[in-house]
Amino acid sequence: MSGPVDAIVTGVGAYLPANAVSNSDLEMRVETSDAWIQARTGIRQRHVAADGELTSDLALAAARAALTDAGVDGAELDLIVLATTTPDSTFPATATKVQAALGMTQGAAFDVQAVCAGFIYAVSVAANALAAGQAAKALVIGAETFTRLLDWNDRSTCVLFGDGAGAILLEGRPSNGADRTGVLSSHLHSDGRYYDLLYVDGGPSSTGTTGHVRMQGPEVFKHAVNKLSDAVREALAANDLESGDVDWFVPHQANKRIIDGTAKKLGIDPGRVILTVDRHANTSAASIPLALHQGVADGRIKKGDLVVLEAIGGGLSWGASVIRW
Ligand code: ACO
């Protein structure tokens, strides 16, 4: 394809493990309460992958659903970008397992690691590849078995997270220039000075173990609302748009208070916010595509709508994307 290219969304898919764990179930494991979790986070339940169910299994289920939605065969793909913090193995990339299972033998498949911001990073990488003519059909997946990183004795973190996967198919189409559709732009940021606020205390090069999530929750919270609202403002301004133009705000689903605070700061109507944190908890890189799938499946997100995505996570890493659906 020569000339400018739009990276348009042609399919969306999602997968959640069958086992839903309620806050009351967690009361049996750590000293916590349904009331505390709901009041501080908005979370009511989370899904937890079964023993032997891997990130690649979740990713594959979401990928197949997105391909079916688009009417595209896996063999037609020429790019898979999979955002995950919980790969099946240290290497190779989990994306290559998905690639093989989909019957895709051309192009490239690789993982992107930006923790909870991973899906924004993956959308950016895939849309840029389409715009550069490096690929024509790109599957962007966010998939996590994040509960495997939890210290189940640490109540300040173990109640917050869940497992799941979501995927979107991006296809390159000739752009008519003025009236662009698809991914309009993505805006990525990181600041490694904040490493200590949210990290895993293990890794192949440091301890040789997988490690567990460690977090200074209130500090992360403070950074989240400011950095997310700044990133969304930057993304809207880059496209000559304002918050009043946003049809659907699809934030990373970490905590309802962060989402409410960010939407309020941006002046986005609460009725325009897609929320899944109550049922999914924080699924890290999977949370945005899971929420996108919810919004499309229930008929809220429609063709032509302006959709804004944002996320922040360990690093700190954060960003925002603007999509004309
Ligand atoms: N159940 C009951 N009590 C708890 C629990 C729990 N699960 N966890 C902590 N507490 C207690 C604390 O021990 C503390 O008790 P104390 O006052 O006796 O010392 C009290 O509750 C208040 O603790 P805080 O940490 O100050 O509670 P806060 O209101 O800040 O809420 C939370 C904690 C929910 C983690 C919040 O800070 C938060 O959401 N931060 C953002 C972090 C986040 O979402 N991270 C996800 C990854 S990054 C991202 O995706 C954005």
Q: How far apart are CA 127 and CA 271, in angstroms?
A: 28
CB-ligand 1 contact for 159 (6 Å cutoff): yes
Which residues are CB-neighbours of 232 under 8 A, at least 6 positions away?
243, 262, 266, 308, 310, 320
pTM of the model: 0.97
DSSP string over 101-134: HHT--SSEEEEE--GGGHHHHHHHHHHHHHHTTS
CB-ligand 1 contact for 262 (6 Å cutoff): no
325 residues of the chain, pLDDT tens digit each: 668 899 999 999 999 999 999 999 999 999 999 999 999 999 999 999 999 999 999 999 999 999 999 999 999 999 999 999 999 999 999 999 999 999 999 999 999 999 999 999 999 999 999 999 999 999 999 999 999 999 999 999 999 999 999 999 999 999 887 789 999 999 999 999 999 999 999 999 999 999 999 999 999 999 999 999 999 999 999 999 999 999 999 999 999 999 999 999 999 999 999 999 999 999 999 999 999 999 999 999 999 999 999 999 999 999 999 999 9
Burial (CB < 10 A; 0-12, 13-18, 19+), residue 38, is middle
**Token digits of residue 113:** 């690691």
Residue minimizing CA distance to atom 11 of ligand 1? 156
Pick the catalytic residue: 252, 255, 280, 293?
Answer: 252
320, 310 Cβ separation under 8 angstroms: yes
142, 122 Cβ separation under 8 angstroms: yes
7, 122 Cβ separation under 8 angstroms: no
CA nearest to 170, candidates 158, 184, 160, 156: 184
Residue minimizing CA distance to atom 49 of ligand 1? 313
From first CA to last CA, the distance across the chain in angstroms is: 21
- Whole-number Å distance, alpha carbon 159 to ligand 1 midpoint, is 9
116 catalytically annotated? yes
